[in-house]
Amino acid sequence: MMMHDFSYRGNELYCEKVLVRDIVKKVGTPLYIYSYKTFVEHLRKLQRAFATVRPLICYSMKANSNLAILKTLVDKGAGLDIVSGGELYRARRVGCPPEKIVFAGVGKSFEEIEDAIRYGILLFNVESVPELELIERAAGRLKAKVNVSLRINPGVDPQTHDHIATGKAESKFGLDIQTATRIFADKSRYKNLSLCAIHVHIGSQIVTGSPFVEAFRKTLRFIDKLAKQGTVIKYLNVGGGLGVIYDSENPQTAAQFARRILPLFKGRKFKLVFEPGRFIAANSGILVGQVLYVKQTQVKNFAIVNVAMNDLIRPSLYGAYHGVLPLKRNTRAPKEVYDVVGPICESGDVLAKDRHMQELHPDDYIALMSAGAYGFVMASNYNSRPRAAEVLVRGSHFEVVRKRESLQQLVEGETIPAFIA
Ligand code: LLP
């Protein structure tokens, strides 16, 4: 099955029906390019796989929160998983219905909580007792009844990179079962809250069903215990975390995932909520750059490109793998082994290591694949590099959905105080 809509026709890379080189000629590089079709298809895969239970699929916008992407997904029925006031603002800008918004994160501020209550979001995913008390206070002030889901930490190893594992006992996320039990036992203390949901998210880029099954089993046992004490759970939010193909992974498909987990929930009355980010966004985008220099040392060949860790930090931060494809393929060209590196003054500014690929030359364009999730959203201005532009392709159309940052924007908000003059 087609994983995404970036492919060669002849020897030229296309996004859907558009020649990537045509976009690059017009918009320049570094450049993120997204496929509308791939985004929608991945949402649909989940919608289809779980059609029988009609879940609420809240796209986790931290993965890619460009307004055009959010609008695309919201129009196709997705809700949104938000983690900040900024993400709430984006959700509102695309008109996401409040009853399709869930709010997660360990450090919500009072102001963010109030704004979300005013907008009337569906659920707060609560991660600590002090947070619960703060939401109670905000709800009281606004005379609102607020739905809360407790994020429990099931103590499961998701078998993924340490930095993106969140369900282990020592992680900062969620509440252990004992604490959650106590909170439910004390629920009458929270007059303005309805403790009606459970949330569980154990980590990201999880490629097999087993960690999910283990976590959900534990969660269901907890829900059964609550039922005996008279607590009815109306929503079970099972988080995100579905793994994708970056290299040679063989992750479960949406259908396989559904077959594996749906039996667990048979006969249950609660509504399932999902928060997928990477599954929808990762393969839906690429990051295009241009070779500046090819540098040969005694031990390595470096392809120095105009894309850097400030544009895509995943390889530096997690040792993550992103495929590298030339926009113009030449199957007869000699092969070489390259480290693809950026111009930033850090030895960690590596985008790809030891890649066996066609010989590269200055001015060649390359695409870093599967960069649609946790790409642009994690970009910074390090080394005073303006952030990349973003383009959305649909069929034979494309449009810039975020302009390249200008040098002027780079210093916007900075001032030189008189006292240093
Ligand atoms: N729900 C919660 C509560 C989360 O913390 C996350 C991701 C998601 C949903 C979405 O997870 P996904 O379906 O995308 O796996 N920057 C890292 C990933 C960090 C994930 C943070 N939380 C990376 O580039 O791999």
The answer to whether the 6-34+282-410 and 36-278 domains have the same CATH topology is no
pTM of the complete model:
0.97
Query: Please, is 339 exposed, middle or buried when counting C-beta atoms within 10 Å of its C-beta (0-12, 13-18, 19+)?
Result: middle
The predicted pLDDT at position 248 comes to 95
CA of 239 to the centre of ligand 1 (A): 9
pLDDT in tens, 103-149: 999 999 999 999 999 999 999 999 999 999 999 999 999 999 999 99
Token couple for 379: 């970009």
CB within 8 Å of 378: residues ≥ 6 apart:
312, 313, 314
15 is catalytic: no
Residue with tokens 């307004």: 67
Q: Is the CB of 105 under 6 A from ligand 1?
A: no
Q: Is the CB of 289 under 6 A from ligand 1?
A: no
Average pLDDT, the chain: 96
* Phi/psi at 37 (5° precision): -60, -45
Q: What is the 3-state secondary structure (H, E, C) of 286-350?
A: EEEEEEEEEEECCCCEEEEECCCCCCCCHHHHHCCCCCEEECECCCCCCEEEEEEECCCCCCCCE
Q: Is the CB of 276 under 6 A from ligand 1?
A: yes
Tell me the average pLDDT across 188-203: 97
In three-state secondary structure terms, 361 is coil
Per CATH, domain 36-278 is 3.30.70.270: no
Topology given in CATH for the domain delimited by 6-34+282-410: Lyase, Ornithine Decarboxylase; Chain A, domain 1 (2.40.37)
- Per-residue pLDDT at 328 exceeds 90: yes
Alpha carbon nearest to ligand 1 atom 23, residue: 374
> Hey, where are the domains in the chain?
6-34+282-410, 36-278
CA of 204 to the centre of ligand 1 (A): 5
C-alpha separations of 189 from 117, 127, 129, 149 in Å:
19, 17, 12, 16
DSSP letters of 188-199?
Answer: GG-TTEEEEEEE
